[in-house]
Amino acid sequence: MIVSDHGMTESGNHGGSSYEETDSLALFVGAEKFSYAPETNNKAHQVDIAVTLALLFGVPIPRNNVGTVMAEVFSFLEDEQKLRILQMNSWQLMRLLQTHLTESGCGKSSCVSGSGKTGAERFCCLYLDATALHENYSRSGYANDYRTVALAYHNFLRTATEWLSSRATDKPIGLLASGIAAMLLSCLGLMSLLLLFNQDTHFKNSMQKWHLDEIFIPAVIFILIISMGSSSMVEEEQYIWHFMTSSLYLILLRRAIQSKASHYHQIYSVITVLLCGRVLRGWHQGGVNWSYLPDISKFLEQSGTLHIKSLQLLSTILVISTCLLVLLALKLRKRVAIIFVLVYIFPVLLILKQIFQYQDSIIQIIYAVLGISTVGIFVATPWLMPLQNLQTRFPFGGIGDSVFVIGWCYVFSWCLLQLILQQPVNSMPTSLLLMQIVASIRFFSDRDLHVKQWVKVAALYYVGMAGHFGLGNTNTLATIDVAGAFVGISSHSTIISGILMFIITYASPMLVLLSMLMNVFNKDLSAFANVQNIDFGHILKMILGYNCLVPLGLNSILLLSYTIVLLLMQNHLFVWSVFSPKYLYVCATTACVYIGVSILSLTTAYICMVFGIRVTLKRNRSTERLPCQ
Amino acid sequence: MTKMLFLHISCGLGLVSAFWVAHNFYSLTLLQNPAKTLRTLWAVEASVVILLYSLFRRNPDQCSYLRAVLRGLLGLPTGAVVNALGAIVLGAPVGIQHFEKTIHWSLLMSVLTFVPAACVFGSCWSDWLRVFAHTEAIAACIDWIICIGAHGAVIGAWFGAWPMPLDWERPWQEWPICVTCGAIIGYLVGLIISFGFVVFHNQKQRVKGD
């Protein structure tokens, strides 16, 4: 048997629902001559292939089959055997019908008059008619009766398959509509919040000209949505993200050159982002159609474990030194900085040991130590950080410092965790991604460029999405690293493995969301705090506003538009192989964004709360002292 | 005015005649021999562009025609490096089998974007910034022509890359065929727009003069 997967239009498009694209070839070649099958006009439905093949091979018919057997294929058999095949098909369909229709089994009494029956009864009668005729035929064996029996069976099969097929494509329209309405509402709500927030923060110069990078951010989303309508663009989505993100950073590079105030270090930062992005793109070919082409990961796997190990070591060192440099650049008090370094010495040493010698027990210790130190820094930093920033002398600059340090700690811990969990080949992409993020934040930290805050956040989000594919993920479920989900687990647990799988797959978007805390700068916060007073509401708004709203908004647009795309593509040939897995990824990305955003808001709320307590304590103390003096 | 018309027409005709030369003399097509066709294309177009744009050089008293031609010749490989780096950053394939194609493509892009500016401005960084980054308002006609043509080629090439990930398995989807087509179409559209702009600009000045 020879079958083609799909047809094609004249222009080369395939996979749509036009006649040319859905029409494909099925050719049965047998030793026997098909006696009465005419050579033309042999049309069959796709659902009929499964049952026909099952019967040809002599295996049971699949339980959920809704097709009918292609009788022409079995024309070489004796009459008795042909009827047997029809009988088996009918019996299977009858069982499937009974699972759909809850009414109990067939009673013979009701099948007297043929017309005016609905639902289960009708199928029952047709089925019983056919079986009764078949029994008669087996007893008497008149050749003339064969036609009647076959006709009765075909009659039942046709009605049953029509009903079952329409049932399979039946959709609860009310539920779908309300779901889409809810998504639309949340999307509109987020967008209007973003607009309001934008007006709130830029009320002075609302009529300013839009820069190219500000126009390009929505254009990225628009182009992405347009290309999601094509199945091959969904399969090769990594190209789109990389292309758009690199274009965005090229535009930012142009802007940095344009600006007279720009420094060389900014241009170097953008070039670092671009180069790291290109290496990330070349690390895994990804996609479906060109996944066989050579790439860096395949080259490394061929060249042996020694190269991979040394690269893993190099990327660990890169991660550590990048994080150290970031911490040093903050210019904290020496004692404070040393505490942070000391906290991380133990897990780092364990990870280095683990690279040389893999041990399950060590990994469990690493999980525990990383968790404890992250939580410890999160809890302790707001209490220990001096209220005033040393360098800039901003009153309450400690809030910005705490936010930055906790963000740094999240990013560092997350990267170290990824170095253990990801495949050894992926350790370098992890460190490249970290460098991209750090370079971006360094680029954005200069206020002379006047890059808008929402552009910064969106650019980081795009880097995260491009990095998601750079770590070897695709829109098929095959690239999910199942083996990594069992790293360091001694007993099987579906929930823990699921969490680990999620951590591995969404390493990059999560890293970006966590790094948003480092994207808050003291200078922006200083306007809302002076020596006497501190406006926590505004500070919370400044820290969380864009950092939460932009990822949420972008993600809600993507979720809504992709849901609509999926509904439009419901008759597409690749709806199960391409669009549905992609939808699962879109849903998981939504979950990732919500988790990241809640971590951000929890952290910031906690820091503000602690500083509030500290400020009131300090005030109380000074008022207590005043009378004594 | 007639000089500008001549410049536009000969730049456009240069590309068309380069295709004609490649097809009729060497029997090359972009689909079958992309590298060799691109070589013919940039060689023909480069001679047209360098010779013509050198006529419009900045400060013609201080800078001889020969020197402007030389600047254009120097600008050709420099611009090729910039264009090649840009393309690679955006995802152009890196590898020995693509090396020749990338070189010839970036030389062609250099002719369309970089060389005219090199002929006219030389190494004056502020002029380059003004034309390509719009740091100041552009006044002269020739600046607009260089700016619009170069932007047309780059934007055309950017859009030309879009069909590449589709799985249509057509020969023109290979690097750098559709990108070249996009760049050439973008450049020609840019020429038309810039000519329209020059006509508009002249009329406006005449009205002002009256």
Tens-digit pLDDT profile for residues A190-249: 999 999 888 877 655 555 678 888 999 999 999 999 999 888 889 999 999 999 999 999
At A273 the pLDDT is 96
Q: Which residue has the tokens 């910064």?
A: A456
Asked whether B190 and B160 are in contact (CB, 8 A), the reply is: no
Residues forming a β-bridge with A26: A3
The reply to whether B85 touches chain A by the CB within 8 Å rule is no
More confident residue, A74 or A599: A599
Q: Is the pLDDT of residue B25 over 50?
A: yes
Q: Is the pLDDT of residue A110 over 70?
A: no
The reply to whether B161 touches chain A by the CB within 8 Å rule is yes
Give per-residue pLDDT as tens, A12-48: 777 666 788 778 888 877 766 655 555 555 778 888 8
**Beta carbons of A246 and B158 less than 8 Å apart:** no
Chain B hits for A275, Cβ within 8 Å: 89
Supply the DSSP symbol for A60.
P
Of B90, B168, B170, the CB nearest to A246: B90
At A238 the pLDDT is 93
Q: Is the pLDDT of residue A626 over 50?
A: yes
Interface-testing mutation among A250, A255, A279, A283, with chain B (most B C-beta atoms within 10 A): A250
Q: Is the pLDDT of residue A302 over 60?
A: yes
- Strands A2-3, A26-27: pairing is antiparallel
Give per-residue pLDDT as tens, A91-107: 999 888 888 876 655 65
Nearest chain A residue to B169, by CA: A12
The reply to whether B136 touches chain A by the CB within 8 Å rule is no
Q: Is the pLDDT of residue A189 over 80?
A: yes
Q: Is the pLDDT of residue B83 over 90?
A: yes
Of B88, B134, B165, the CB nearest to A232: B165
**Beta carbons of B167 and A258 less than 8 Å apart:** no
**Beta carbons of A239 and B91 less than 8 Å apart:** yes
pLDDT-derived band at A495 (thresholds 50, 70, 90) equals very high
More confident residue, B203 or A184: A184
Rounded to an integer, the average pLDDT of B111-117 is 93
Burial of A177 (0-12, 13-18, 19+ CB in 10 A): exposed
Rounded to an integer, the average pLDDT of A168-189 is 90
Question: Among A201-205, A368-372, B153-157, which is the least confidently predicted range?
Answer: A201-205
At A506 the pLDDT is 96
The residues spanned by each domain of chain A are: 1-30, 43-168, 205-269+306-628
Taking one residue from A and the other from B, the number of pairs with CB-CB distance under 8 angstroms is 51
Cα dihedral A169, A173, A175, A177, rounded to 10, equals 130
Of A12, A247, A294, the CB nearest to B170: A12
Nearest chain B residue to A245, by CA: B90
Burial of B89 (0-12, 13-18, 19+ CB in 10 A): buried
At A338 the pLDDT is 86
The reply to whether B167 touches chain A by the CB within 8 Å rule is yes
CB neighbours of B101 closer than 8 A, spacing ≥ 6? B34, B35, B38, B175, B176
**Beta carbons of B166 and A242 less than 8 Å apart:** no
Give per-residue pLDDT as tens, B131-153: 888 777 777 888 888 999 999 99
pLDDT-derived band at A113 (thresholds 50, 70, 90) equals low
Chain B hits for A239, Cβ within 8 Å: 91, 164-165
Which residues from A are below 8 Å from B when comparing CB atoms?
12-13, 230, 232-233, 235-236, 239-240, 242-243, 246-247, 250, 254, 257-258, 260, 274-275, 277-278, 281-282, 287-289, 294
Chain B hits for A230, Cβ within 8 Å: 166
Categorise residue A489: left if φ over 0, alpha if ψ from -120 to 50, beta otherwise: beta
Rounded to an integer, the average pLDDT of B87-106 is 92
Q: Is the pLDDT of residue B180 over 90?
A: yes
At A629 the pLDDT is 45
The reply to whether B169 touches chain A by the CB within 8 Å rule is yes
Interface-testing mutation among A246, A253, A260, with chain B (most B C-beta atoms within 10 A): A246
Chain B hits for A233, Cβ within 8 Å: 165-166
Chain B: closest CA distance from residue A7 (Å) = 13
Chain B hits for A282, Cβ within 8 Å: 94
At A262 the pLDDT is 64
At A623 the pLDDT is 79
Nearest chain A residue to B94, by CA: A282
CB neighbours of A519 closer than 8 A, spacing ≥ 6? A407, A441, A444, A456, A457, A460, A547
Average per-residue pLDDT in chain A?
85
A319/A312 Cα distance (integer angstroms):
11
Give per-residue pLDDT as tens, A262-298: 678 889 999 999 999 999 999 999 888 888 888 999 9
Numbers of helices and strands, H then E, in chain B: 8, 0
The angle, 0 to 180 degrees and rounded to 10, between the axes of the packed helices B177-209 and B96-113 is 10
Rounded to an integer, the average pLDDT of B69-74 is 93
* Global confidence as pTM: 0.85
The reply to whether B94 touches chain A by the CB within 8 Å rule is yes
